[in-house]
Structure formats: C-alpha cells, structure tokens
Amino acid sequence: MTEEIVKALKTCYDPEIPVNIWELGLIYGVKVDPAGAVDIKMTLTSPNCPVAGSLPREVESKIRAIPGVTDVKLELVWEPPWTPAKMSDAAKLALGMDLDAPVPGPGGLYETRLGPERVAANNPFRKIARVHIPMCFGSDGMPYGPLFGVHWAVNGFFEGQRLSPEDAIRAATAGGAYAAFEEHEKGTLEAGKLADFVVLRGDPFETPEKIAQMRIESTWVGGERVYKGSSKS
C-alpha cells in the first residue's frame, strides 16, 4: 500500500512549482498500520505558503481514495524547516539546480572542491558592492525564477556574501540592463523607459528572510498586465 500512497503523493503539486510534493521533499513520513490507517507528516516550503489550506486537504483526499485505506491522519509540521536540500535529485534537475549545492556554502560540492576557507571567500558580493562595481545577477544555474538568487544574495551563508535587499534587487534588474548596454531603456522604473515589472506577494525589504518563498502577484510588460497569479496559489 505504501507504493500506492507514494504514487498518489506524486500527483500533488504546489500550483507554482513544477515538481510534485514527494520529489520536493515535503513529505516527512508515511506510516501504514495493519488495519489500513495511514499516518502522514508533511510540511510546506514556508508557513505563509498560499496553499497551506488547500494542499494538505488535497493530499488527504487522494490518500483516502486508495483502496484499502481505512483512515488518514495528516499532520502539518514545521520542524525541521523545509530547505531546497530536501529535494530529490530529480527535483533539482527539473528546477535547474546544482545537485549538491545551489549556492556556495558549508558542505556539498563547493566546500568539497574548494575547501572551507576558499568557499567562505567565494562570491564576495558585499566587498564588490562597497567599491561600487556594478553587479549583474542571472539564474542559469538555479531555479529559473530570479527570486531564489536574490534570496541567497541577501541571506548568504557567510557575511561577505550578503547584500542588502536593495543591492541584490538592483543587481537582478538594473544590473542586467547595464550588462546588456540597455540601461537607458530598462532596468529601473523611470519616465521614458520600458514599463516592465512584477508585483510580489510580500515585501522583500520588510521580510528579506522570506524572499525565496514569495510569489508573483502579477507581471507587467510595456505597461500591460500579462500574468495574474491565482488567488488560491
């Protein structure tokens, strides 16, 4: 029966993440007693996840529909907190992440190859910002959404890696325009420039520790809204 439960869990998704909750590592435990009662412990990517109300109900409903299941007890837990390290290799590949470490930090690929002293000196964003060298952030080796990279530039493992939210967002927006020699057309919201921007659900300046979990409320291109997030996601 456990195999059937895992199959059912692999059909459950956060609407804004193209990886099922099993591969994301959101399921912390599955127990089945001889009478067919199922006990599941699961978490979410953050306590303020927009699907905190609906996703656990979906999981419980799909498990109850499995032949032989007599009862389902689902517990939503927050300890230990979910991190990208809990994802399976398949999930990391689907999201374009490095299989060991999406950002340089203790343990994993970077420390193995560079050593603890050199990994601590890697990506010295703060020093670069202090001498006013323009930075341009991209997301070719991480999840495709830029908020993941912005989050770790603000909440890096080591002090020298950490930028202010303002500097990190500038590097991901105005910095890209500067690198492409297009700073006079885009990168900042100013009269005469392209009106391309996003509206976030959350304030990266007020809660910088939650940047990676923030969702897109709407996307605007040329002053026209081209995407509106679901009220349920």
pLDDT tens-digit series, residues 52-79: 889 999 999 999 999 999 999 999 999 9
**CA–CA gap between residue 129 and residue 132 (Å, rounded):** 5
* Structural domains of the chain, ranges and CATH numbers in brackets: 2-76 (3.30.300.130), 96-228 (no CATH)
Give the residue ranges of DSSP H helices in the chain: 2-9, 21-24, 54-64, 89-94, 108-114, 116-120, 125-130, 146-154, 165-172, 174-179
DSSP conformation class of 105:
-
**CA–CA gap between residue 100 and residue 151 (Å, rounded):** 18
**CA–CA gap between residue 230 and residue 194 (Å, rounded):** 26
The pLDDT value recorded for residue 134 is 81
Output the six-digit token pair for 118.
């050199």
The pLDDT value recorded for residue 140 is 66
The pLDDT value recorded for residue 103 is 59
Average pLDDT over residues 1-24: 88
pTM above 0.75, yes or no: no
Q: How confident is the prediction for the chain on average, in pLDDT? A: 85
Distance from chain centroid for Cα 221:
23
Output the six-digit token pair for 15.
């609407």
